[in-house]
Amino acid sequence: MHSSLLRRAWVEIDLGALLRNATAIAKYAGVPLLPMVKADAYGLGAVRVARTLERLDPWGFGVATVPEGEELRRASITRPIVVFTPLLTDEFDGAARAQLIPTLGDARSIEEWGATRLPWHFAIDTGMSRAGVHWTEVGALHDVLSECPPQAAFTHFHSAQLDDGSIEMQTRRFEHALNAMPQQPTMLYAENSAAIAREEGGSPWSVVRPGIFLYGVGSGAAQMQPENVVAVRARVVDLRTIGAGETVSYDATFRASADRRIATTAVGYADGYRRSLGNRGVGLLHGQRVPIAGLVTMDMTMFDVTDVPCAIGDIVTLIGRDGTDALTVSDVAEAAQLSPYEILTGLNGRMPRRYIGEGQGNGDAT
């Protein structure tokens, strides 16, 4: 990579770790993968992620919008691509041209898409109350399902990470709905990352639909823990000493009790490093933890480096490993009082991506 791309801040993506996570979850599930690469592969670059995962021969890929699917098609991804957010009927032409597979759950959409004779997947709502036909109302679609049978049927677990019995309840509802269909499709699926990790002895369905596990965030299940995939690093661009009583950043929320050394890094909430980390988050400098001083600003974040040697140009790790210590996406999300999904998907801004890992070399960036 040209050094100028790394002067300010960057996202580092370990494609080798991504591939190992996908391999582990595929082996554990025992069925083909339908990886979710929506939201630009959770901020990591959908095209690069999909091309890496192609090595595992996945069934297809999952996206949220027609433009996301079109991007993969332009990159010569030829596998099935499922669009999991319901489409408006005026999006059908674009989806058909790109050979995308919509997820449908109402008679009108099924009839209109059915005229294309292209594949579609039947969305069944078993408790998420977000999209798809309610599980008790599948029988009312008997005629249209007979005329336009789906390639697959699926549901989505709303609390797969919890031991609350909801997976079992939703599975029973899904099976009830499937029995109400005029003919069950041979392809059935339900499991997201957390649900896959809970299964013992493999998945009972046709494919599994992993998302955030691939990108280094686990669900807490001891038997399935992913490798870290993402690092965020920023350079120190300013260094100063402030005296007792002096303040740092907006609203003066940090006030020095004694002389403190403050390092400014060129990363802020416009890059996806969240404002809520102010005075709560930490970074890693030369393998040691340094606290954020004051509020995170749009373009810069300040750290108290009083106890750690520091010079202009030094690298602070905001997510990832430095020496023997590491800050995971989950660690940063907890400090920011957000979900790991929000942290990852927020990284698709102006920071360049640096891809490392198996077969990637170190000179590759977008």
pLDDT tens, residue by residue, 185-223? 999 999 999 999 887 788 999 999 999 999 999 876 667
Band of the pLDDT at 6, cuts 50, 70, 90?
Answer: low
Q: Which residues contact 319 (CB under 8 A, 6 or more apart)?
A: 230, 231, 232, 327, 328, 329, 332, 343
User: Which pLDDT score, from 0 to 100, does residue 2 have?
Assistant: 47
pLDDT at 199: 77
The Cα–Cα gap between 205 and 177 comes to: 15
pLDDT of 220 = 66
Complete domains list, the chain, with CATH: 60-206 (3.20.20.10), 230-365 (2.40.37.10)
pTM for the whole thing? 0.93
Out of 28, 42, 215, 250, pick the active-site residue: 250
pLDDT class of 362 with cuts at 50, 70, 90: very low
Least confident of 23-37, 163-177, 338-352: 338-352
Q: What is the pLDDT of residue 1?
A: 44
Say if residue 289's pLDDT is above 60. Answer: yes
Active-site residue, from 38, 189, 215, 355: 38
38 catalytic per annotation:
yes
pLDDT at 197: 85
> What confidence score (pLDDT) does residue 349 get?
72
**From CA 127, how far away is CA 157, in angstroms rounded?**
8
Is the confidence at residue 364, as pLDDT, over 80? no
* Residue 250 is a catalytic residue: yes
- Stretch 277-298: mean pLDDT: 98
What is the per-residue pLDDT for 198? 83
Average pLDDT value for residue range 87-109:
97
**Mean pLDDT (the chain, rounded):** 94
Separation CA 143–CA 182 (nearest Å): 8
Task: Compute the average pLDDT of residues 4-21.
Answer: 88
